[in-house]
Homo-oligomer: A and B are copies of this chain.
Amino acid sequence: MSFEFDTDTAVSRAGDDLFHARVTDRWNTFAGPNGGYVLATATRALAEIMPAPHPLTVTGHFLRPLKPGGAEIRIHRIKAGRRHATARASVSQHGKDVLVVLATFTDLGSVKGRELVLGEPPALPAPDAAIDPLRELDAAMIPSIARRMDLRVGEMPGFARGEPSGRPEFTAWMRFADGRPPDPVALVFFCDAMVPTVFEIGELVSSTVEMTVHVRALPADGWLALRVRTRHVIGGYHEEDAELWDSTGKLVAQSRQLALLAR
């Protein structure tokens, strides 16, 4: 059997520096394919040509709306050093660039060095004691991406009750619904897998301009705890900062995206 995420982010080599992919409609938000899903697909293509196995820092600039359907991913390797390897990728659909990516990979399994963690995982009830928010929602309110994941929250988000809290932040447990364990490529996706924080300030559309993910460690199996927060909306632009903590309480990824409210 193969997992949904692996099937739907698969890339096939079509040339020295060219891969084909298929953006499915199974990871759709209400605004089309999720950006993190397509960024993860590009990351998989990069992994094919990188001498190091894991994405360490991945930046994507989203140029045009993503659509379900075929995509071409063109790769250019920039440097392969002893510790870090850097490359770029361009994802195009119908002959136009939709996403450009710059990434550095490393081997997270061989990382050794100082540890000092001053942050903490989000305070969430244990997954078994938490709420499945999808059970509370009308099926028509659930986009396809949410069916790919198990979600658990401490309390129903305000926006889902029609009462945005005014605090643009969420905490939640997440995992793939089909049991696929998390790995660095999946973390690129999970950083962007929650609904936009600005839903909690009454906004309904947020378009990502740029998103950078730092994979900080190999995740353990099990649930991921997400904390995502916006602190500054300025001229409609806002940052969305996410952290992912694994089931052992370890920080495994951080991301920041710059996004724009609907005009």
Contacts and interface: CB of A to CB of B under 8 A. Distances in A.
Interface in A94-121: 97, 100, 102, 104, 108, 111-119
A202 to B, nearest CB: 10
A70 to B, nearest CB: 20
Contact of A104 (B88, B113, B210): B210
A50 interface: no
B234 A251 contact: yes
Given A117-B234, A236-B111, A212 B81 contact: no
Q: How many copies of this kind of chain does the complex include?
A: 2
Nearest to A100: B78
A59 B56 contact: no
A214 interface: yes
A162 interface: no
A102 to B, nearest CB: 4
A57 interface: yes
Interface residues of A, number: 53
A149 interface: no
A258 B57 contact: yes
A10 interface: no
A104 B259 CA distance: 12
Contact of A113 (B59, B108, B237, B251): B237
A79 interface: yes
A146 interface: no
Contacts of A72: none
B209 A104 contact: yes
Interface centre among A88, A214, A261 (most CB of B within 10 A): A214
A15 interface: no
A63 interface: yes
A56 B258 contact: yes
B113 A100 contact: no
Interface in A65-86: 78-79, 81, 84, 86
Interface of A: 56-57, 59, 61, 63-64, 78-79, 81, 84, 86, 88, 90, 97, 100, 102, 104, 108, 111-119, 168, 201, 203, 209-210, 212, 214, 216-217, 230-239, 251, 254, 256, 258, 260-261, 263
Given A56-B237, A119-B231, A210-B212, 6 more contacts: A59-B59, A113-B236, A217-B235, A234-B251, A239-B254, A256-B256
The 4 closest A-B pairs by CB, nearest first: A113-B236, A111-B235, A116-B233, A57-B210
